[in-house]
Structure 1
Amino acid sequence: MTWESGISFFLAVLIFGVTPGPGVFAILARALVCGARSCFWLALGMTVSDMLYLIAACIGLAALATHWGEVFTLIRIAGAVYLAYLGWKMWTAPLDLSTAEAAPSAKGGALSFLQGFLISASNPKVILFYIAFLPTFMDLDALAGGDIAVAALLTLVGLMIGLMSIALFSARARRFFKSESSVRRLNRGAGSIMVAAGVYLVSRN
């Protein structure tokens, strides 16, 4: 992984981390009720789960790229279609924060970490995100353990920055996140990014 691809990958993970989803709404709810500091272990649990999905995607993609190029192409197209579908779901999703706000808060760091881990791990579609994006930033034919380690570290830093930024902003700007029109604009903006990424990916040779 080059410096340029590493920076690009970091920015992509950062954007992915702040797009609306179950994890983001859980962070929002926790920050609104308990403040930003209470979200650290929750965010870390989500991030560790994503890192495991990333490593699994790296290993699986490397094997497919080496032995089954045509299958890899099909997976890349499927990943692009999934990104477009995810963008459409974000664009059209109704605003509903009631579930996240009703979730019980964990007092202990370990329990909060486990809660965050399960929130992310219960959504196996996360691995499709990494399957779709990794070929853009890594040469899968030359994928090494060091590249995977760097990608995992960038994922850790990028997701934690994104999630904790949401927690800080949510704790300081409650009215913004309680506005239905504001959250709807955020959903549509994130959805547009996902659709554009899917179109870009499927158009690559």
Structure 2
Amino acid sequence: MSIESMITFYLAIFIFSITPGPGVFALISNSLNNNIKTSYALAFGMSMSDVVYLVLAFFGLVALTQNYATVFEFIRIAGGIYLIYLGYKIWTSPIETNIKNEKVTKASYAGNFFKGFLISASNPKVIIFYIAFLPTFVDLSVLGVSDLIVISIITLFALMNGLLFISYSAYRAKKVLTTKKSVIILNRTAGSIMGLAGAYLISKD
């Protein structure tokens, strides 16, 4: 894989990472309503889930989406219900006009990592994307372990950079909202986004 291919691959994955979808919407909602550090864990979970799908794609496990369709269906529905629940909690959260630098515990990091991983894992079509996308940049027939490691690292960095860009942008927007009315609108908007993301996960094929 040439340097030019690596750069092009990175840019393509970066663009893919900021494409609107349940994961991006969940990240925006989390950044608007929680400590920015929890969004790092959420983004990392989402990125790691994608890397898992990337590795599966490398090994040609397309059959995984067929033989284990029921498992993926359960994950998708469970993830959707969880997002709807989070949307409700955000919608009904107390009104606070002071942005606090809340302490983030290990449990917070772990919980948000798992949430992010579940959101991305609920979309098994990602593996199809990678299978269709990767041959443009690499010859899978001669792919070695070292190539797999390099491409996985590039993918992880591209995804994290894209998702953190989204997260930080949303967090900066939050900091200008200091009145009670604006916070109510913020909570309603973020809760709605999260709920709609969950509904989308449940309803999509």
Flag whether TM exceeds 0.5 (same fold). yes
What residue number does 1:121 align with?
121
Question: Is the deviation greater in 106-115 or in 133-142?
Answer: 106-115
Alignment of 1:24-173 (within 5 A): 24-60=24-60, 99=84, 102=87, 108-173=108-173
Identity of paired residues, percent?
Answer: 46
Q: Which amino acid in structure 2 is aligned with residue 42 of structure 1?
A: L
Structure with the higher fraction of residues in helix conformation: 1
Alpha carbons of structure 1 residues 171 and 160: separation in structure 2 relative to 1, 3 Å: same
Alpha carbons of structure 1 residues 12 and 104: separation in structure 2 relative to 1, 3 Å: farther
What residue number does 2:100 align with?
none
Aligned length: 142
- Tell me the distance in 1 between the aligned counterparts of 2:19 and 2:42: 17
- Tell me the distance in 2 between the aligned counterparts of 1:172 and 1:138: 38
Tell whether the 8 Å contact from 1:49 to 1:117 is kept in structure 2 after alignment. Answer: yes
Tell whether the 8 Å contact from 2:38 to 2:108 is kept in structure 1 after alignment. Answer: no
Q: Could you tell me how far 1:35 is from its partner in structure 2?
A: 4.2
Question: Is the deviation greater in 31-40 or in 8-17?
Answer: 31-40
Tell whether the 8 Å contact from 1:29 to 1:100 is kept in structure 2 after alignment. Answer: no
Question: Is the deviation greater in 28-37 or in 18-27?
Answer: 28-37
Alignment of 1:169-180 (within 5 A): 169-174=169-174
- TM-score normalized by structure 1? 0.63
Alpha carbons of structure 1 residues 103 and 137: separation in structure 2 relative to 1, 3 Å: farther
- TM-score normalized by structure 2? 0.63
**Gap regions ≥5 residues in structure 1:** 65-97, 181-205
Query: SS at 2:158's partner residue?
Result: helix
What residue number does 1:90 align with?
none
Alpha carbons of structure 1 residues 160 and 103: separation in structure 2 relative to 1, 3 Å: farther
